[in-house]
Chain A
Amino acid sequence: MEGDLAMAKIPEDKMRAMIFEILNMERKNLRSKAKTDQRMSEEIQKLIITYSKMRF
């Protein structure tokens, strides 16, 4: 989060919420293996794009 970032600094609560969502997605998938690694990567990409669209 430090350094010369092109994006605006993400607030702590948003960062925590995003990590929480990712971890829950991972936990859910670890307990069902419904999605492949590639699919999980795509899901996380979507989530990060959604968060990056928010104006902080």
Chain B
Amino acid sequence: MKFKSIRMKNFMRYKGENTIEFSCDRKKNVTVVLGDNTVGKTTIAQAFRFGLYGAISTDRRKSEDDYLLLNNDVLAMMDANSRADVLVEIVATDEEKTYTIMRQIYYTRAFPQMIAREASKKVTLHISENDGANADIEVDANKVEEVVNELFPKDLSHYFLFDGERWNDVTIGGVRENIKDSVHILTGLSSYQKAMWHLKDMGSNSVIRKFKGKISGNGNMYDNLEAEREQMERSIEKCQEDIKVIDINLQNCDRKIRELEQQLEENRQTEEMQKKYKNLCTVRRSQAEHAQAEYRMLVNDFSDKAYMLLAKPMIKASLEMVKSVAGERRDIPHMHQDSIDYILRTGHCICGTKILPDSPEFECLIEQRNYLPPADIGSLLGEFERTAKRWNNRSGEAKSDFLQDAEKADASVRQYEDTCNEIALLERQMDERIDFGEIRRRIRQYRDESQRFSNQKGELQGRIEALKRQIEKTESDMRAQEAVSEENKKWRERVELAEAVYERMNHDFAEKEQKIFAELNQQIQSNFSRMFNAKDKRIELDKNYNIQMLYQTENGYREEKNLSEGEKIARNFAFIVTIMEYSRKRKAQNVGKDDVASDTLPIVLDGPFSKLGDENIKLIAKVLPEVSEQVIIFMLRKDWEYTGLDEFVGAYYSIDKDADKAYASVRKTGGVE
């Protein structure tokens, strides 16, 4: 399959009509469209997507409604009564037929605002035979998407309509491609599946069922068995309908899970920041408590000892003064004249001796009284000296203790402030609104639902198998009741022939599927090594054709899921090159053989090499014209020379855009006429 041309009218950046005719030459199979940055290269890639599938590729943060398909300049010229259309027409061809897909949308303007409103739209697909043997046909409008999908499988579009800026993504619009079915389409296996559906699997209208319905039997017994069979067949059809609904639900769950996982993947950094933020908040709390405790300790210590330290010079001077003025003195510790007066008043000494006036004991006390404060300060000075000594002892280490305490308090406050700054920085950087716990909860919920649906599906499949066995038994009973007639014999032969064809197709399908899978797996590894010169890595397809990258470890090769952007690009490039090469080889091998034909795809690359190094650009670029029937590249003028593809180019185009104009145009600049 090759693209012959694309015609765009008023499509996004392109005003009026612009047509590109692609090179369909066998050897010079490359068409290159060169342009500077932001002139409209990606718009042409978008035109392919719109033309084929009716939708453009959107940025993850935007929806399709954020994009205006109608050229802005055209919209500006419209008034409230005028209409303008956007049109994309793609012409594609294979050996037998030419397919013309046309999509057109009419717009009105919500004047005076610059808002375009969709008034009507249509899609058509015309198929003409290249040899003109039969008349052209127009595909039913409701069937256009199905046919386009058969010609250009949408699930592979991410690969053959390749956007170099985004092709490390594994999803298109959040939906992971069903690559397996697409590979079946390309390799012709979808025809087997459809044939088996018509022969037997579609139920009451299937070939085998219709043939069986022609066989007649003898008497009521046969009629009852036939009714029983019909009822069981209806039950199977009902189960199949239920499975279809379950499959849709399963796909939805799967899509949701992938969307949420993608959200986790894309916001992994935010999640890590949120975790760090949470930890830092806890750390900040404990640091605040610690700093307060350190500060309290400093204050307590200061309150306890500072006065002693501060009084030190004064005490020293006071002691010297005391020594100079009251060097010799009587010092009765802790006694006061009031103590003697108390004893005299009570008339008893504390030892129990009676103190009578004028007694020697009385006289002795009166004498001692003269040496006590306030009459004599000798005792007080003694007290003072003792206290001064105690203070000196206690305040000896006070200064260094205060400094140590203050340093500790300062350090803990600094730690606290550092954490506060880190938290403030995180608050500016991260999106704290994303609730990762909620996302994970929803993933679990969808997984549970998915499991529930899978169980239901399993039960229904089991029921279908049981009903099929029951039908076989009933049919065996019916066969015994069949009327012996030439007519019945004839229909019985047909049933058996149809069943033989079905069995054979089933067997061939399984065999071919296995062979294709094995060959593709072998080839993808070889292409990966050829293009990326990777020694310690391998890539492999799993049963559902998901591409895995394996790393060599001590225990053999292990799958690595956290791939760098470069690795994702390498993986996807190897995959599409393999699919292209394989389908092209199969097509060449099957020519003239009685096997169903394989299809090939052209490859349309938008800025394919923007994220690759010069060495890889050359390695990959030279592979493309070999493996694909047709290569269409949109790229920066300045990067073209690194590709070394000139010898394969059949048509050169250039995108022109005047600086003062809002629209671009495409012009042919060289190549095969």
Contacts and interface: CB of A to CB of B under 8 A. Distances in A.
B505 interface: yes
A32 B137 contact: yes
Interface residues of B, number: 44
B563 to A, nearest CB: 35
A44 B195 CA distance: 9
Contacts of A38: 205
Contacts of B595: 20, 23
A37 B197 contact: yes
Contacts of A6: 489, 492-493, 496
A22 B503 contact: no
B101 to A, nearest CB: 12
A33 B496 contact: no
A40 B205 CA distance: 10
Interface string B138-150: 0110010011001
A27 B596 CA distance: 8
Nearest to B505: A19
Given A27-B188, A30-B190, A10 B500 contact: yes
Contact of B493 (A7, A15, A17, A33): A7
Nearest to A49: B494
Contacts of B198: 26, 37, 40-41, 44
A19 B595 CA distance: 9
At the interface, is chain A mostly helix, strand, loop or mixed?
A: helix
Interface string A1-18: 100011100100001111
B5 interface: no
B205 A41 contact: yes
A32 to B, nearest CB: 6
B150 to A, nearest CB: 5
Contact of B191 (A1, A27, A34, A52): A27
Given A17-B594, A32-B127, A52-B493, A45 B210 contact: yes
Interface in B194-235: 194-195, 197-199, 202, 205-207, 210-211
A22 B137 contact: no
Given A31-B147, A37-B198, A23 B496 contact: no
Nearest to B143: A33
Interface string B261-285: 0000000000000000000000000
A31 to B, nearest CB: 5
* Most chain A CB within a 10 A radius of its CB, from B127, B146, B150, B501: B501
B494 A1 contact: no
16 contacts: A1-B504, A10-B497, A15-B500, A16-B594, A19-B508, A20-B596, A23-B191, A30-B150, A31-B150, A32-B139, A41-B205, A41-B207, A44-B198, A45-B207, A48-B494, A49-B494
Interface of B: 97, 127, 137, 139-140, 143, 146-147, 150-151, 185, 188, 190-192, 194-195, 197-199, 202, 205-207, 210-211, 489-490, 492-494, 496-498, 500-501, 503-505, 508, 594-597
